[in-house]
Amino acid sequence: MSLIRADGVRKVYRCKKRQGPNRHHETLALEDVNLEIQEGEILALVGPSGCGKSTFLDIVAGLAELDAGTVQLGGKPIDGPGLDRGVVFQGYALFPWRTVLDNVAFGLETQGMDRNQREEIASRYVDLVGLSKFADRYPHELSGGMRQRVAIARALAADPMILLMDEPFGALDAQTRERLQFELLRIKQETGKTILFVTHSIDEAVMLADRIAIMTSRPGTIKAIIDVKLPRERKGAESFLRSSGMFLQAREQVWHSLKHEIEKAAELEYMI
């Protein structure tokens, strides 16, 4: 069953400049985006920089409005943000004055859950992301990778229907990034969550996703959907998988589809 269903999504950004000939500047970010995300899958959304990936994720998150089309979650149109969607961005966006545990418990607190119950649930998710020893620490005491684990735990704590992740590992060093990719696969196995994962890294998309949706350069639309046929059980076999024929073949397929879009996006940048 499809958990998310986007039909004919269009998004225009309208910017008013103070002066100049082109005062009412419009950017068509998304045009006719049709996409279904199946329950229980990891769908990676890849595309060149500026093609509208974040815009699409923001629409699903209820943080941006669309100009045409519809997006449904579990058969109901999305109307603003909600705890049924957990969001993780590239920046950690943790509350610096709250401990790890209290950061993770934040969503539960806004639901009005009592302290004991929310701390019990939050500590389960702190355990899940491997931070039980750091539950009482503050964000500034943690590494970038650990902070992003907290952000994942916080997004999961309210037991959302889907996890929306926008380049969540983009600011991390290469080794930490790889480690977190496998952590995410493990977490996915343990929780069974549906995940929309935005990235511009082809390798990251192939390593994580069940399916990869490739976007065109702006205005973004879905150009192709690629089934990744790697075994679902990826953890523990990471180095083997990265050099396997299946991985390289999927990588090649994505690259082939994306190459032209990246070139087009680069040309667009020069025209601005």
- 33 binds, options Mg ion, ligand ADP, none, Cβ within 5 to 8 A by partner type: none
Contact 261, 51 (CB under 8 A): yes
The site partner of 201 among ligand ADP, Mg ion, none (C-beta below 5 to 8 Å per kind) is: none
Cβ distance to ligand ADP smaller for residue 54 or 181: 54
CA pair distance 230, 246, nearest whole angstrom = 6
Residue linked to tokens 């196995």? 189
Q: Nearest approach, Cβ of 58 to Mg ion (angstroms)?
A: 9
What does the per-residue mask of binding to Mg ion show for 53-72, with x meaning CB under 5 A?
A: -x------------------
Tokens of 166: 């926008």
Whole-number Cα distances in Å, 81 to 56, 133, 151:
14, 32, 17
- Partner whose footprint covers residue 51, from ligand ADP, Mg ion, none (CB < 5 to 8 Å by kind): ligand ADP
Can residue 177 be called a binding residue for ligand ADP (CB under 6 A)?
no
Q: Choosing among ligand ADP, Mg ion, none, which partner's interface includes residue 254 (Cβ < 5 to 8 Å by kind)?
A: none
Provide, rounded to whole angstroms, the least separation between the CB of residue 184 and ligand ADP.
Answer: 19
Q: How far is the CB of 249 from ligand ADP (least distance, A)?
A: 25
Residue in this structure with the two tokens 């610096």, named with its chain if needed: 96
Out of Mg ion, ligand ADP, none, what residue 72 binds, judged by CB under 5 to 8 A for its kind, is none
Lookup: tokens for 83: 């705890």
Q: How many CB atoms lie within 10 A of CB 197?
A: 26
Q: Considering only residues 170-229, where is the footprint of Mg ion by CB under 5 A? A: none
Which of 47, 107, 160, 168 binds ligand ADP (CB under 6 A)? It is: 47
Contact 23, 6 (CB under 8 A): no
- Separation CA 82–CA 3 (nearest Å): 15
Q: By CB under 5 A, how many residues form the interface with Mg ion?
A: 1
Residues 206-265 that bind ligand ADP (CB under 6 A): 218
**266 near ligand ADP, rule: CB under 6 A:** no
Instruction: Check if the beta carbon of residue 181 is closer than 8 Å to that of residue 195.
Output: no
Smallest gap from Cβ 2 to Mg ion, in A, equals 24
The full length of the chain comes to: 272
Binders of ligand ADP among 25-44, rule CB under 6 A? 27, 29
Helix (H) / strand (E) element for 49: namely: none
What is the closest distance, in whole angstroms, from the C-beta atom of residue 53 to Mg ion in the complex?
5
Distance CA 186, CA 76 (A): 30
User: Which CB sits closer to ligand ADP, 55 or 181?
Assistant: 55
Cβ–Cβ under 8 Å, residues 72 and 41: no
**Interacting residue ranges for Mg ion, rule: CB under 5 A:** 54
